[in-house]
Amino acid sequence: MHIWNVRLSLLGVLLLLLAYAYAQPQTNDIVDEILERISSQITDDEEIDLATIYDDLIYYRQNPINLNTATKEQLERLFFLDEIQIENILFYQYKYGEIYTIYELVLIDGLDEFAINALKNFVCIKTVDSSTKYTFKEVFKYGKHNLLVRNDGTFEQKKGFRRTKDELNANPEKFYLGDPFYASIKYRFHYKEYVQFGFSAEKDTGEPFTGKYNKGYDSYNGYLQLNDLWKFRNIVVGDYRAAFGQGLVIRTEFAMPDASVLHISPRNNGLRKSSSTDEYYFLRGVGATLDIKKFQITAFYSYRKMDADTTGGTFSTIQTNGLHRKISELTKKRTLSTQIAGANISYNARSFHIGITSSTVIYALPQQPNGELYTSFFPRGKVQSALGIDYQFRLYKFNFSGETALSTNRGVATINNVFFTPTSRIGILFSHRYYSPRYNHLYANAFGSNTCNENGFYTGLEITPLKNWKISLSGNAYRRPWASYQTDGAATFYRLLGRLEYAPKSNLTVLAQIQFRQDEKNDPRPATTSQLAIVKTLKHNYTLHYTSLGIKFKTYIAATHAKTSGEKTTHGFLLLQNIGYTIPIVKINLNGGYAYFDAENYNNRFSVYENDIPSVFSIPMLYGKGCRYYLNIGYNVLKNFGIWFKFAQTYYTDNRTTTGSGWDEINGNHKSDFRIQMRFSF
């Protein structure tokens, strides 16, 4: 009874805050809204990198893009713009020349209220200045520094930490070796867009910070990037990312979701620093891109140690999660020396692009797949190479793009797209991809569920029938002709999405969305015959999303229906209310939320974007029956010093006695987390 009193009190406080919020002017945090829109496109099984998107948005909010010199590459880093809007902005810039006022945005076809309002936060109007010269004195005098220190934890004790010091010393393989806290420190420096430098250090929950198993943080990251230096577009040293073409040869980053159904081609092509604390998707070494008229020539080299089980002098797979909490995980820590060398040569005209990319991976030990059926065509040996040719050209109202790649183990992969804009209010995209089971190159990461063993079609349609209205439709059907993980045979998959958006004002959006998906996997139930059965799982997801940016008010309603062959249909329901405001006198930023969920099983789970402290992202997965609530508090103590705190709790009402599983199991029916972050800017 006590916990219900607490929860009702919190709900009452949130309602009072809402009433107060209506009466107070609010800080319009457009970055959170953009990230939330993008996250609505995410499927349950996707790993994404919102950190890179966040970094770009924050950078351009602090260093606005000059619309008179804006390039396609810069506009593509504003992920709320779709392909049509980017093309229309560039066409307006080309046709009418210099832009004199931000209010000219309303004259550009295809820009809705949300896009115009968002752009005002990331662009500016300046006269054209072709000079990019700078001195080191200016760099150190006018450069900006930023330092973030963060700690996370869980109030309840997890199973892996239920031990004494003596028990840990006697049986270290039975427990987590470190403390129950996450810790990180990040330093970043930049001088305009020309010089960027930074480093970070991190340890995950359960990883040892002191003692015989580790000294200090678990992972370290550092980078230096110089842009527009002599004829070099950029030079990167340290940790960086590389992406070219459609990503068939190399794209060292998570899936990058987009707010538009029309944009499936990778953004951020080329070399760029890696400021994320991710421990897998990056290169470590040096790279540079040289501009010679319409040609760009890029070369890069990386040497780093990766996690793998190298028992017996071979390895089967590379571990990607970066966790080193247990003896079994520490024995795989950075045991595999890996070299990657590559190059890209591209020709870029206004309406035509062609490029060639090569990448060679050299392992210190030979790769030897583990013998599972789905690994039958995986590469073997110490050396693996891939070569790809990508293209893009515009013809009338059609835009064609794609890439075809070959690997040394006789694998082939190709993806080809046709984008058609009959009018400025209609966009249509068709895409076909074929990735053979033999094509499995390290860091290949193109559109699709996996850049291997996949044959699929995708189509997207976006229509703006009336002012302030937008209709988005997409369909993705693909087949895996060979066995894949958890599927010992050919399987077919479908993804359908329909979205209706109404934005009558710059600070008000109503969005309704329907998603359908069908998966085929091994039947987890005991087999009644000697033949393994593959079952279908169908899932419908309905969401209604209301957002008012001026008062930071968001209502999110979702429902799911899921059915697996031979079983009954199960259901799920979610109601989420978020509120945010700023206390004007002391300028304390507050935002919080309360979610009620009732999902019968895992297939009915909900993954919902949750507001968090700056540079941190939460998409909690909710299933079972219960509620979740959270509160973020941010306060700029001084002009150059701020502190943020978050508390979140998930409380289950389905009579469970434990939460979580394995070594993360918690006794009881609730889990409470906290997060503290401090920022120093100078």
Output the CA torsion 27→30→32→33 (10° steps): 120
Q: Per-residue confidence at 671, pLDDT binned at 50, 70, 90?
A: very high
Pairing assessment for the beta strands 232-243 and 283-292 based on DSSP bridges: antiparallel
DSSP 314-366: -BS-EE-S----SHHHHTTTT-EEEEEEEEEEEEE-SSEEEEEEEEEEEEEEE
pLDDT at 466: 86
pLDDT at 255: 62
pLDDT at 130: 56
Cα angle 512-539-494, degrees, rounded to a multiple of 5:
95
Residue with tokens 């459609």: 246
Residue 404 φ/ψ region, left for φ over 0, alpha for ψ in the -120 to 50 degree band, beta for the rest: beta
Mean pLDDT of 100-112: 83
pLDDT at 125: 85
pLDDT at 238: 97
Mean pLDDT of 146-156: 95
DSSP 117-130: HHHTTTEE------
Mean pLDDT of 337-358: 95
Which residue would you say has higher pLDDT here, 210 or 185?
185
pLDDT exceeds cutoff 90 at 471: yes
pLDDT at 662: 92
Q: Per-residue confidence at 550, pLDDT binned at 50, 70, 90?
A: low
Which residue would you say has higher pLDDT here, 99 or 339?
339
Q: Per-residue confidence at 256, pLDDT binned at 50, 70, 90?
A: low
Q: How far is CA 154 from CA 151, 179, 303, 337, in A?
A: 11, 11, 36, 35
Which residue would you say has higher pLDDT here, 172 or 339?
339
| Closest CA relative to residue 648, chosen from 552, 543, 578 | 578
520 vs 483: CA distance, rounded Å: 11
The strand pairing partners of 476, in sequence order, are 458, 495
Cα 71 from chain centroid?
A: 23
pLDDT exceeds cutoff 50 at 24: no
Which residue would you say has higher pLDDT here, 652 or 618?
652
Query: Across all residues in the chain, what is the average pLDDT?
Result: 86
Q: Encode pLDDT of 62-90 as tens digits.
A: 888 888 888 888 888 888 887 778 878 88
Flag the least confident range among 268-277, 300-309, 353-362.
268-277
Q: Which residues have CB under 8 Å from 367's CB, separation 6+?
A: 314, 315, 316, 378, 379, 380, 381, 382, 384
pLDDT at 282: 95
Choose from 53-67, 254-268, 475-489, 582-596 the range with maximum mean pLDDT. 475-489
| pTM score | 0.88
The strand pairing partners of 676, in sequence order, are 151, 645
pLDDT exceeds cutoff 80 at 201: yes
551 vs 455: CA distance, rounded Å: 46
Flag the least confident range among 116-125, 260-269, 464-473, 600-609.
260-269
Cβ contact 386:251 at 8 Å: no
Cβ contact 379:404 at 8 Å: no
Q: Please count the residues of the chain.
A: 682
Mean pLDDT of 113-117: 80
Q: Encode pLDDT of 566-623 as tens digits.
A: 889 999 999 999 888 877 777 788 889 999 999 998 889 998 888 888 888 888 999 9
Work out the number of other CB atoms within 10 angstroms of the CB of residue 18.
16
Between the two ends of the chain, the Cα-to-Cα distance in Å is 49
The count of C-alpha atoms lying within 13 angstroms of the C-alpha of 261, restricted to the half-sphere facing its C-beta, is: 27
pLDDT at 575: 94
pLDDT exceeds cutoff 50 at 680: yes
Mean pLDDT of 467-487: 91
pLDDT at 7: 43
Tokens of 650: 């998930």
The strand pairing partners of 626, in sequence order, are 597, 652
Local structure of 421: helix, strand or coil: strand
Local structure of 288: helix, strand or coil: strand
Cβ contact 201:185 at 8 Å: yes
Which residue would you say has higher pLDDT here, 130 or 436?
436
DSSP class of 140: H
pLDDT at 111: 81
DSSP class of 2: H
pLDDT at 18: 41
pLDDT at 22: 38
Cβ contact 475:456 at 8 Å: no
Cβ contact 363:337 at 8 Å: yes
Residue with tokens 């993008």: 38
Mean pLDDT of 186-190: 93
pLDDT at 547: 76
Residue with tokens 């109503």: 510
Q: Encode pLDDT of 414-463 as tens digits.
A: 999 999 989 878 889 999 999 999 999 999 999 988 899 999 999 999 99
Which residue would you say has higher pLDDT here, 424 or 320?
320
DSSP H or E segment with residue 666: strand 666-667
pLDDT at 1: 40
DSSP class of 525: S
Cβ contact 441:414 at 8 Å: no
Which residue would you say has higher pLDDT here, 128 or 619?
619
pLDDT above 70: percentage of residues in the chain? 90
pLDDT exceeds cutoff 90 at 315: yes
| Closest CA relative to residue 433, chosen from 405, 406, 413 | 413
Which residue would you say has higher pLDDT here, 292 or 38?
292
628 vs 552: CA distance, rounded Å: 19
104 vs 113: CA distance, rounded Å: 13
Mean pLDDT of 372-386: 93
Q: Per-residue confidence at 28, pLDDT binned at 50, 70, 90?
A: very low
Which residue would you say has higher pLDDT here, 376 or 40?
376
pLDDT exceeds cutoff 60 at 44: no
